[in-house]
Amino acid sequence: MFHIIPAIDIIDAKCVRLTKGDYSSKKIYNEDPLEVAKQFEDAGVQKLHLVDLDGAKQKKVINYKVLEKIATHTSLTIDFGGGVQSDEDIQQVFDYGAAQVTGGSIAVKNPEKFLSWLQQYGGEKIILGADAKNKIIAISGWEEDTSEDIFSFIEKYIAEGVKYIISTDVNKDGLLQGPSIDLYREMKGRFPESKIIASGGVAEMKDIETLAKQNLYGVIVGKAIYEGRISYDSLKKFIRNEGI
């Protein structure tokens, strides 16, 4: 089963997209994220990747209300990321309706905290965010590079119970130039039991179809939908044909 997981990125409670994580490249697509979420739901989508970009920048969750509104008014299974830094943050995110939380920067900067969440909530609820530039982990909304190799980073956390991994190739994000097929093929080869979710670069349905053949868990799609390169009808058709 392969999941198409649309992304809604939030700044000032509005649906936006950035290019390569650059806040100065912000483009507003809709003033009402709930309206966008309902369009995805109508297309047959079951899962949503909701990112609090304000939270990622301020290192605390800001857009709780957007999460609550979408969780309350749709049946989408929401994974939430951006600014989740404290025990209070993560508990509130779950209380406001998230089914899963993605931790990226926290897993690099405060591994003890991330591991405590993994132990408390379990591998079904905590997703590892493994975003990278040239296979080196990038954090804090991609404004910081690290020296950590993506594969050793993932391997370390799989040993601790991580099951879901979202990996964005930062060099591809928002450019609509196609995803890093080779990266995900290598990742799946190294970690065959993990539920790997590709992110970044998807430009057309063909990209989704190619990723679906890699035995990944799913793909996160954003800009290609918002720019009209992938229609809601084509999403609906793919989901119906795949039986997901």
Based on the residue annotation, tell me whether 145 is a catalytic residue of this protein.
Answer: no
Q: Which of 89, 131, 169, 173 is catalytic?
A: 131
Based on the residue annotation, tell me whether 89 is a catalytic residue of this protein.
Answer: no
Q: How far apart are CA 40 and CA 173, in angstroms?
A: 21
186-191: long-range pairs with CB below 8 Å, 24+: 186/151, 187/150, 187/151, 187/154, 188/214, 188/215, 188/216, 190/151, 190/154, 190/155, 191/154, 191/155, 191/158, 191/165
- To 5 degrees, how large is the angle CA 21–CA 39–CA 236? 100
3-class DSSP assignment, residue 16:
strand
Q: Is 152 left (phi over 0), alpha (psi -120 to 50) or beta?
A: alpha
User: What DSSP element (H or E) covers 41?
Assistant: helix 33-42
103 to each of 22, 24, 63, 87, 222, how far by Cα in Å? 19, 24, 16, 12, 19
DSSP 169: B
Dihedral sign, Cα of residue 60, residue 165, residue 220, residue 150: positive
**Of 114, 111, 110, residue with least CA distance to 123:** 114
What are the residue numbers of the active site? 9, 131
